[in-house]
Amino acid sequence: MSKSAPQETVLQGTPVSPGIGIGPVHVVARGFSAPEVYHISESEIPVEQERFRVALEETKAQLDELQQTIKSLSGEEDSRIFEAHLMVLEDRAMLDRVAEAIKSRRQNAEFAFYAVMQHFLEAMRRVPDPYLRERTVDLEDVCQRVLRNFSEEAPRHSAPEEKHILVAYDLTPSDTAALDRRHVLGFATELGSVNSHSGILARSLGLPAIVGIEDAVLDIRTLTPAILDGYSGRLILNPTEDTLKRYQELQERKEKVRQDLEAQRDAATATTDGRTITLSSNIEFLDELALVRNSGAKGVGLYRTEFLLLDGEDMPDEHEQAEAYKKLATELAPHPVIIRTLDAGGDKLPVEPLTEPEPNPFLGWRGIRVSLDRPGMFKEQLRAILRASAHGKLAVMFPLVSGLGEVRRAKDYLKECMDELAKDGVPFDEKLETGVMIEVPSAAVIADLIAPEVDFFSIGTNDLIQYTVAVDRVNHHVADLYRPTHPAVVRLIKRTVDAAANAGIWTGVCGEMAGDIRLTPLLLGLGVEELSVGPHQVPRVRRAIRALSHSECSVMAEQALMTGISQEIMDATMGMAKQYYPELMD
């Protein structure tokens, strides 16, 4: 009797980045890297069982030697720290689970061991007893040792399919940034929210993504065939032929829309009644420059420098930074590039280890506060930007400004850097434009005072929303309260735009609202002049702008400013979006 096919299973999460991924799942555990995984034949099962036995014996010998060394150096008591490690390797339940996993999964021994231990680790992390949770470190150490001791003399197999859907407990911003986009079709996590930085990066990188799938790491098996639906938030395991065909057809329809949008790449980004909107890109990495050019974006409206400065062991020096900024300037000329100075802290990369965790990082040491507290580091970045400004059209932007004093202090440092470079005879753009991000309500309220000090505003809607409505944007418990159309948010955007216009400077939006085509009618109606979005979002936003009438959007926005209910504002802007570009809204 033949073995029945696995049943299709649908897991529901929250969509954070649109798109479809079809391929095998790869599950990664917290704490240590997954080994290579491949299928084995029935005849190879005994070989893999023996490889597991040899790896265990080698690990036991190493731990015994370590125990004896510690005993001779520090005494019997300290040497007992390895007893728990040795007990793990002799645990009959674990040994039987791995043996059975090799047989039932038909996967190589090291991955079967990894999968079993991953399950144990995740279960331990979720128990309420703090003592047991702390023991996960010991278990991780044992796992790492065993994995390193597997024999390399395994039967040769063809390489596993490289493209895969990543499943993880959570992904940090640096984890997401490090994903190999050639091989990762998309990702699904247990934690996260629509507005977490990993979700923002997924949209920027064009990766389909889902968050909030309960017990995904515990319940999903690596190499399971799957479909990741970044539109509905579904992860479909073992899809049937009918399901697979339906999603392949959906992919084809989406690809047809993409090609139609691509054909408009060089079209003017202007409304039907002639209002031109500058459409630029947000980027994190220099290797995204080709994406920016291919998208037809008019330069970069936000270059996030955190990954250049902090995603390594040492921060690059002034010369290295200048070379990176020069590359941006020269390759995107004649279009402008706005470089945001270091924006560390919160849910972003930390600038340096703190002696103790901040009780509330979002209200703590982040943004321009870090730079003003570290003037040597800040001036090094400013000098690097100035050096590169001689080679193209650059601008500098200060993040998380909360008051006029911060703006003036930052400008004073910039002036010092200009004077130093001028004294040394180093060329730079003496008319380098300076802007600030409006993402703290206090800055929006006094936008009329800040505007005469700068050349432009860029509204960071992600933080502006969370600070205005007092909702942590990465906390799934209150995610439904994070509302971009909250009347207070809408009014603060309008206040900022009007203050800029009165001072003769322009206002853009570089937060997630800029790339959300449901909100394009609202932003245009409020008077925003520039939108900066992920390179993959540029074609869709361009199509939305070209379909809209600015005068009609303005009427809708005026009505929104008189409305006290978030959903009514969302309904109004979505109504226009569905009316004028329905093909993008399904």
Interval 519-563: pLDDT, tens = 999 999 999 999 999 998 999 999 999 999 999 999 999 999 999
Confidence check: pLDDT of 127 > 50: yes
How many structural domains compose the chain?
A: 3
Convert the pLDDT of each residue in 467-520 to its tens digit: 999 988 777 778 788 899 999 999 999 999 999 999 999 999 998 999 999 999
Model confidence at 344, in pLDDT bands (50, 70, 90)? confident
**Higher pLDDT pick, 220 / 564:** 564
- Domain membership of residue 166 (yes or no) is yes
- Give the mean pLDDT of the chain: 87
* Cα–Cα distance, 186 to 543 (Å, whole number): 25
Q: What is the pLDDT of residue 198?
A: 73
**Higher pLDDT pick, 454 / 344:** 454
Query: Which residue, 148, 168, 200, sits at the end of a domain?
Result: 148
Q: What is the pLDDT of residue 357?
A: 66
Query: Which residue, 199, 224, 256, sits at the end of a domain?
Result: 256
Catalytic residue among 26, 197, 391, 550: 197
CA Rg, the chain, in Å?
Answer: 27
Name which of 476, 392, 479 is nearest 428 in CA terms: 392
Model confidence at 160, in pLDDT bands (50, 70, 90)? very low
Q: What is the pLDDT of residue 123?
A: 74
Give residue for tokens 């279960």.
Answer: 123
Considering the domain architecture, whether residues 77 and 26 belong to the same structural domain is answered as: no
**Higher pLDDT pick, 362 / 424:** 424
Write the burial class of residue 43 (CB in 10 Å: 0-12 exposed, 13-18 middle, 19+ buried): exposed
- Domain membership of residue 167 (yes or no) is yes
Give residue for tokens 């399904």.
Answer: 586
Would residue 510 show up in a list of annotated catalytic residues for this protein?
A: yes
Q: What is the mean pLDDT of residues 367-392?
A: 95
Q: What is the pLDDT of residue 154?
A: 44
Q: What is the mean pLDDT of residues 50-78?
A: 77
* Cα–Cα distance, 454 to 212 (Å, whole number): 41
Q: What residues contact residue 1 under an 8 Å CB cut-off, 6+ apart? A: none
Considering the domain architecture, whether residues 67 and 15 belong to the same structural domain is answered as: no
Q: What is the pTM of this model?
A: 0.74
Considering the domain architecture, whether residues 451 and 480 belong to the same structural domain is answered as: yes
CATH code: domain of residue 344: 3.20.20.60
Confidence check: pLDDT of 159 > 50: no
Convert the pLDDT of each residue in 243-256 to its tens digit: 999 999 998 988 88
Considering the domain architecture, whether residues 133 and 216 belong to the same structural domain is answered as: no
Q: What is the mean pLDDT of residues 170-177?
A: 70
| Weakest mean pLDDT among 120-134, 207-221, 252-266, 464-478 | 120-134
Q: What is the pLDDT of residue 326?
A: 97
**Length of the chain in terms of residues written:** 586
Confidence check: pLDDT of 378 > 70: yes
Q: What is the mean pLDDT of residues 376-401?
A: 97
Considering the domain architecture, whether residues 309 and 416 belong to the same structural domain is answered as: yes
Convert the pLDDT of each residue in 258-290 to its tens digit: 888 888 888 999 999 999 999 999 998 898 899
Phi, psi of 339 (to 5 degrees): -100, 120
- Domain membership of residue 550 (yes or no) is yes
Residue numbers of the domain that contains 239: 9-32+160-256
- Domain membership of residue 343 (yes or no) is yes
Confidence check: pLDDT of 158 > 60: no
Q: What is the pLDDT of residue 219?
A: 81
Considering the domain architecture, whether residues 496 and 372 belong to the same structural domain is answered as: yes
Model confidence at 293, in pLDDT bands (50, 70, 90)? very high
In SS3 terms, 208-263 reads as CEEECCCCHHHHCCCCCEEEEECCCCEEEECCCHHHHHHHHHHHHHHHHHHHHHHC
Q: What is the pLDDT of residue 129?
A: 63
Confidence check: pLDDT of 197 > 50: yes
Considering the domain architecture, whether residues 385 and 269 belong to the same structural domain is answered as: yes
Confidence check: pLDDT of 194 > 90: no
Name which of 435, 339, 348, 330 is nearest 381 in CA terms: 339
Best-predicted range by mean pLDDT among 199-208, 291-300, 549-558?
549-558
Query: Which residue, 206, 234, 256, sits at the end of a domain?
Result: 256
- Domain membership of residue 155 (yes or no) is no
* CA–centroid distance for 124 within its chain: 27
Q: What is the pLDDT of residue 355?
A: 56
Give 320-341 as a DSSP string: HHHHHHHHHHHHHTTS-EEEEP
CATH code: domain of residue 173: 3.50.30.10
Model confidence at 360, in pLDDT bands (50, 70, 90)? confident
Considering the domain architecture, whether residues 295 and 414 belong to the same structural domain is answered as: yes
* Cα–Cα distance, 130 to 126 (Å, whole number): 10
- Domain membership of residue 4 (yes or no) is no
Structural tokens at position 107 = 């996967």
Largest Cα separation within the chain, whole Å, is 86
- Domain membership of residue 178 (yes or no) is yes
Catalytic residue among 26, 85, 143, 510: 510
Q: What residues contact residue 145 under an 8 Å CB cut-off, 6+ apart? A: 59, 62, 63, 85
Convert the pLDDT of each residue in 83-116 to its tens digit: 767 777 888 888 898 999 898 888 889 888 888 8
Confidence check: pLDDT of 74 > 90: no
Confidence check: pLDDT of 339 > 90: yes
Strands, E assignment, 439-488: 456-459
Considering the domain architecture, whether residues 128 and 182 belong to the same structural domain is answered as: no
Confidence check: pLDDT of 23 > 90: yes
Considering the domain architecture, whether residues 166 and 133 belong to the same structural domain is answered as: no
Q: How many angstroms separate the Cα of 256 from the Cα of each of 23, 260, 261, 583?
A: 21, 6, 9, 11
Considering the domain architecture, whether residues 133 and 273 belong to the same structural domain is answered as: no
- Domain membership of residue 394 (yes or no) is yes
Q: What is the mean pLDDT of residues 337-350?
A: 80
Confidence check: pLDDT of 29 > 70: no
CATH code: domain of residue 51: 1.10.274.10
Structural tokens at position 411 = 């400008």
Considering the domain architecture, whether residues 111 and 201 belong to the same structural domain is answered as: no
